[in-house]
A and B are shown apart, each in its own frame.
Chain A
Amino acid sequence: MTAAGQPRVFLVDDHAMFRAGVRSELAGHVEVVGEAEDVAPAIAAISASVPDVVLLDVHLPGGGGQAVVAAVRPELPQVRFLALSASDAPEDVIAVIRAGARGYVTKTISGPELIDAVQRVAAGDAVFSPRLAGFVLDAFASGQADLQPTFDPELDQLTTREREVLRLIARGYTYKEIARELFISVKTVESHVSSVLRKLQLSTRHQLTRWATERRLN
């Protein structure tokens, strides 16, 4: 972080207009250290500048957002990724999260909400947009049909509390509102979300693996 305590942010998006828009929205709250519009230049520039947070478009011409995450994370585990997309497709989003992104927000997010999300990710928390919360609820739906022999309840199932939290996120509640609604602290909400993120990244649930596999084959 910089002296002012602002997270150092790197932008990866193939639309110059969108990068400019995000830059102006973030101005004064974060330090934008660089930007790139394709996979290979992004990997090189991120390795050189080592930002705190990379704002990453899920759809990139040279292999998609998860290619950037996959290449950077082994070398620089301290760089955190926040996926950003206009896409509706769950498999794209899940793939980039499973590659290691700390969260996902839609491109229609407002400026203040984006700043909040960046700061949250910089602090090591997970950020779920309503849409991602919906995808996760869907993917972890309680049906037993798609459970594999390697089923691990620790990883392949959500707790009731996690479900409640995700449902409220999907309904548009902020962490603070969720905390008030469920009579728990904001920290507890954050830990539930982080736990869901961990499950999302490590679970071998059929749904998740299928999405990820299909994505890799493409």
Chain B
Amino acid sequence: MATGPGSKLPWRRERDRALAGGVLAGLSTKTGIDLTALRIVVAVISLLTSGYVLAAYVLTWLLLPASNETGSIASRAASDKRGIGLAAALATVLGAVLIGVGALDIPWINALAWPLVISACGLVLIWRNSEPGEQQRMQQLAEPVLGNVAGQKPGRIVPRIAVGAGLLAAGLTMLLVGHERVQLLVPLGGVVLLLGAIAVVLGPWWMRIARDLVEERQARIRAEERADMAARVHDSVLQTLALIQRRASDPHQVVRLARVQERELRAWLFEGKEPGSLQADGVAAGVRQIQQDVEARHGITVDAVTVGDCELDEELGALLAAAREATVNAAKWSGADTVSLFAEVEPDAVSVYVRDRGCGFDPDAVPADRKGLAESVRARVARRGGSASVRSAPGEGTEVSLTMPRQPARRP
């Protein structure tokens, strides 16, 4: 999008340059004023005007659509009844607190009061109705202030609350002592009674909203877990069951498929290993895992042989990833029942050979789709300083050879 200075486009919030809502970034694009300068000016003004600019910012955020959206957050918030309720409740409580604090007659609190109420309510609506990307940004902004309460251990929250309560008590005491007038206790008592009344009247409603929020979140987490589980089960168990049905006449195949699947399922449920992930720490274990995965997923036999072993580093991990791709390739396209996978660890290099006796192809007349796969295997190894070659002829199967030099520091 052409958004030069002074462009004729309407003012929109720009999310990719945003610190908070992207209001100023949008204004900078619209007017051509430097964004940093604009930010400093607005920050200074908002300090001088005790919060009204902040309230204005939040309202603009609420009312101004983002550059990639059609409607503003406010238009979505209009249909969010619970959000409005929440904001109204927050306003009531904050208002009550401010009335109470107002009795203490401290001018700067009074000045800050109403912009703060407006901002807080606006932020609640924004929070509930903005896009997930914006919510994440707000979470990042709030983190240093609130701390990640959910992730903290109770042992750290308790001292914090204790210190806070101690400070509060000290502050109240100082206020009382400072005035040296017992009469002050009368309005203060009134405030406490007022707050108590509000708590009694609105308490159950607040509790219900809080509980609903918790339930809503739990339901969402459960739904996500279920979707995740369904995807995993589909990729592994359901595919194996389909293969078993197709091979019902061959008891060995059925037993083998069942065994491989059982192993994978156990590893997932009891050891937390995700199906399909390469979590081996050595070459031999990695090769074994490729064998099991490809056998389970593609219903062919992988004749895997490893000579020697060594720890996996990044380079060798890339080598095995390429080997897995070559093996999957052979399983998918060659039409052969068996793929041979041979890995040899030598003092200065590790070699892997993936061979099938399937249809093969003419490497000089490769169709585009297969060339892409061969290239991705080759590129993966070449990036780490290894080499790969493919040997194939129609009717004679295919062999992919991969070699990766070993890092001198890691040689035995």
Contact = CB atoms under 8 A, between A and B. Distances in A.
A131 interface: yes
Contacts of B340: 130, 170-172
Interface in B298-352: 301, 303, 305-308, 337-338, 340, 342, 344
B251 A170 contact: no
B339 to A, nearest CB: 8
Contacts of A107: 252
SS class, residues of chain A in contact with chain B: helix
Chain A contact patch, size range: 20 to 34
B264 interface: no
B342 A171 contact: yes
B308 A138 contact: yes
Nearest to B253: A108
A103 to B, nearest CB: 16
Contact of B342 (A17, A141, A172): A172
A82 interface: no
A108 B353 CA distance: 20
Given A21-B252, A108-B301, A170 B307 contact: yes
SS class, residues of chain B in contact with chain A: strand
Nearest to A137: B307
A106 B251 contact: no
Given A21-B251, A110-B337, A172-B340, A134 B306 contact: yes
A171 B337 contact: no
B293 interface: no
Interface in B236-259: 251-252, 256
Given A134-B342, A171-B340, A171-B355, A108 B251 contact: no
Contact of A172 (B303, B308, B337): B303
The 6 closest A-B pairs by CB, nearest first: A172-B340, A134-B305, A172-B355, A137-B307, A171-B353, A170-B342
24 contacts: A17-B251, A21-B251, A21-B252, A106-B303, A107-B252, A108-B303, A110-B338, A129-B303, A130-B303, A130-B305, A130-B340, A133-B305, A137-B344, A141-B307, A167-B342, A170-B307, A170-B340, A170-B342, A171-B340, A171-B342, A171-B353, A171-B355, A171-B399, A172-B357
Given A138-B307, A173-B355, 7 more contacts: A108-B303, A141-B308, A170-B344, A171-B353, A171-B355, A172-B303, A172-B355
Interface of B: 251-252, 256, 301, 303, 305-308, 337-338, 340, 342, 344, 353, 355, 357, 399
Interface of A: 17-18, 21, 106-108, 110, 129-131, 133-134, 137-138, 141, 167, 170-173
